[in-house]
Chains A and B, each alone.
Chain A
Amino acid sequence: MERTNEQWVSDLRSSGSAQDQALGDLRDKIRKGLPYSLSKWLTPSDPNFDVLADEIVQETLLRVLDHLLSFEGRSKFTTWAHKIAVRIALTELRRKRWEDVSLDEWVQGDDGVSGFDRIAAMTPNPDLSAEQVDIMERIQQVIHDDLSEKQRTALLAIGVHGMPVEEVARRMNMKRNALYKLLHDARLRLKKSMAADGLNPEEILAAFEQG
């Protein structure tokens, strides 16, 4: 029999066999969801799958119990629990996938050209007009003048190189949410500075795509 949201919360908050039964049922549901949620990262035939899945389920149950009172009942209880499992799982998988990548790689390339300097540190290209080269240099100037070092690093690592926010945050000793806000501030600052400098990003994009 499927539990209602209220029954899930009530059983998990109780003690004894009702709680044990609910924990067991929730454990099964979370475990069954993992092959689907992790399918783009890891298949169940991977030798690491079972160990990771057990860790995720255990951590999810603990977190669900810790946050039970914050469940508002606006979704199915199991969806809410799966959401927590997904966050735990992907945080771990991202950590493993990116563990060998250093932020320095993006910020300071092998060739010694740092971060966004790359945009303007280009050799003259016959495909670009003098006007386009000028625009690239002006954008780079805005990035240099108006963004902080942290903002430039975040923008480069996340926005340009596709590194996960979570992983960049870990390397910068920040919370993921704080880093997203920092990134938003950087994008907004850039947008405003470009506008003040008479640079319209839509038009520039269109011109570069045509060119």
Chain B
Amino acid sequence: MKDNGRMLKKLLEMVVKTYEQEMDCAEVFEVLDIYAEAMVRGEDVSAMLPKVKHHLEMCRDCFEEYEALVRILESPDL
């Protein structure tokens, strides 16, 4: 039963955050390097590129890639 409730909650959360126009994975990949560099420089990336931020909230694959790229950019010896 708890499983059913969790399933429903995840589904509803996804629906709530769904917009008519969203960027897809390929479009986000195109700008992921620019977005990650801006984030590491401390710029307000969510204001600059809100659709990228939204996609990263919706797509775990892209978010993991974004996080991995940021870890490289923030590493001390690179």
Interface residues of A (CB under 8 A from B): 29, 32-33, 36-40, 74-76, 79-80, 82-83, 86-87, 89-90, 94, 116, 118-119, 121-123, 125, 136, 139, 155, 158-160, 162, 164-166, 176-177, 180-181, 184, 187-188, 190-191, 194, 201-202, 204-205, 208-209
- For B31, the chain A residues whose CB sits under 8 A away are 74
- For the complex formed, measure the closest distance between the CB of A19 and the CB atoms of chain B, giving whole angstroms: 22
Bound CA span A119–B1, Å: 8
A75 with B15: CB separation less than 8 A: no
Find out whether the CB atom of A79 lies under 8 angstroms from the CB atom of B11.
no
Residues of B within 8 A of A83 (CB): 29, 32-33, 36, 65, 69
A205 touches B25 (CB 8 A): no
Is the pair B65, A86 in contact by a Cβ cutoff of 8 Å? yes
Q: How far is the CB of A93 from chain B (nearest CB, A)?
A: 9
CA of A202 to CA of B12 in the docked complex: distance in angstroms? 8
Known: A36-B75, A166-B61, A187-B18. 19 other contacts (CB 8 A): A32-B78, A36-B71, A36-B78, A40-B68, A74-B33, A75-B37, A79-B36, A83-B65, A90-B68, A119-B11, A125-B1, A155-B14, A159-B10, A160-B10, A181-B24, A184-B24, A187-B14, A201-B12, A202-B16
